[in-house]
């Protein structure tokens, strides 16, 4: 890891130069942050769990034809990804009112929305990732009209697929945040265009996941709201997805994840 050139350090991940041109290594840290990094903690094993869960989700999405930046998992904390230019938007898809939507619109958390809603936030930590309208995206040129159409269509397909996937393991997908990037398309003349691909990660850090029967939160809200047992909840998601086998002790789980590694 230290031999590689660091390209970028975010709140939960580090990007290093990859072994081939056009690739990067995405390293999952144990750091947890909330409320624009005003709240911070280290959660032992979170990075390992998110690496595995995101690998699982990205691999399944690729199988249904969603283009992603994911190439392969390298080890317990790292994955090889395609280098993309990140589109500076957070795309949020909601099925049930929660979080900022419940607060902003005065809807009780847990109320099912009449239909899935796609929202956009500008990726600007210094501004607290503000909610924006599609008009802003057009006016400021953050994405082209066709990129926006592709992002919305992909987000809704991802939502349909993930809702089904999580329903199969007794979990409700309340909402999630995804990011997209521009992957260069090249031929012998050089770069001739770009393809919009799913980037970043999909994990309990970026989704709200509630147990179907009890509404127990199995996601980062456990950290945001001081509910405790954060990695235990992530472990439960990984276990139900069939990614890891043990679920007794947190340490046992991490050992099980590690022993599955290459």
**Interacting residues toward ligand 5GP by CB under 6 A:** 90, 92, 98-101, 129, 175-177, 205-208, 220
Residue 54 or 256 having the CB closest to ligand 5GP: 54
For the bound state, the minimum distance from the C-beta of residue 119 to ligand 5GP, rounded and expressed in Å, comes to: 8
For the bound state, the minimum distance from the C-beta of residue 200 to ligand 5GP, rounded and expressed in Å, comes to: 8
**Residues 75/261, Cβ–Cβ less than 8 Å:** yes
Residue 105 or 191 having the CB closest to ligand 5GP: 105
**Residues 220/28, Cβ–Cβ less than 8 Å:** no
Can you state the angle between helices 145-167 and 46-63, rounded to 10 degrees?
110
Distance CA 176, CA 173 (A): 8
**Residues 69/84, Cβ–Cβ less than 8 Å:** yes
Residue 92 or 154 having the CB closest to ligand 5GP: 92
Distance CA 211, CA 171 (A): 5
For the bound state, the minimum distance from the C-beta of residue 33 to ligand 5GP, rounded and expressed in Å, comes to: 8
Residue 84 or 178 having the CB closest to ligand 5GP: 178
For the bound state, the minimum distance from the C-beta of residue 205 to ligand 5GP, rounded and expressed in Å, comes to: 4
For the bound state, the minimum distance from the C-beta of residue 260 to ligand 5GP, rounded and expressed in Å, comes to: 25
**Residues 218/224, Cβ–Cβ less than 8 Å:** no
Residue sitting closest to ligand 5GP (CB): 99
DSSP code string of 40-93: EEE-TTHHHHHHHHHHHHHHHHHHTT--BSEEEE-SSSEEEEE--EE-SEEEEE
Residue 207 or 230 having the CB closest to ligand 5GP: 207
Residue 217, CA atoms < 13 Å, CB-side half-sphere: 21
Residue 16 or 120 having the CB closest to ligand 5GP: 120
Three-state secondary structure call for residue 139:
helix
For the bound state, the minimum distance from the C-beta of residue 172 to ligand 5GP, rounded and expressed in Å, comes to: 12
């Amino acid at each position: 890891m230290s031999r590689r050139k660091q390209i970028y350090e975010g709140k939960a991940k580090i990007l290093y130069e990859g072994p081939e041109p056009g690739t990067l290594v995405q390293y999952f840290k144990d750091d947890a942050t909330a409320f624009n990094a005003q709240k911070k903690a280290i959660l032992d094993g979170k990075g390992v769990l998110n690496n595995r869960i995101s690998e699982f989700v990205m691999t399944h999405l690729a199988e249904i034809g969603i283009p992603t930046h994911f190439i392969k998992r390298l080890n317990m904390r790292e994955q090889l990804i395609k280098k993309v230019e990140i589109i500076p938007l957070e795309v949020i898809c909601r099925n049930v009112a929660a979080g900022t939507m419940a607060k902003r619109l005065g809807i009780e958390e847990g109320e099912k929305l009449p239909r899935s809603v796609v929202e956009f936030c500008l990726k600007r930590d210094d501004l607290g990732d503000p909610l924006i309208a599609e008009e802003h995206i057009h006016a400021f040129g953050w994405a082209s009209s066709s990129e926006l159409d592709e992002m919305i269509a992909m987000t809704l397909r991802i939502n349909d697929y993930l809702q089904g996937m999580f329903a199969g393991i007794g979990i409700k997908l309340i909402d999630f945040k995804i990011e997209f990037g521009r992957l260069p398309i090249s031929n012998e003349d050089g770069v001739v265009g770009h393809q919009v691909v799913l980037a970043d990660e999909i994990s309990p850090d970026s989704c709200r996941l509630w147990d179907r029967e009890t509404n127990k939160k199995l996601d980062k809200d456990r950290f945001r709201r001081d509910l405790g047992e954060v990695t235990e909840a992530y472990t439960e998601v990984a276990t139900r997805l069939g990614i890891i086998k043990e679920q007794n002790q947190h340490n046992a789980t991490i050992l099980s994840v590690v022993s599955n590694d290459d």
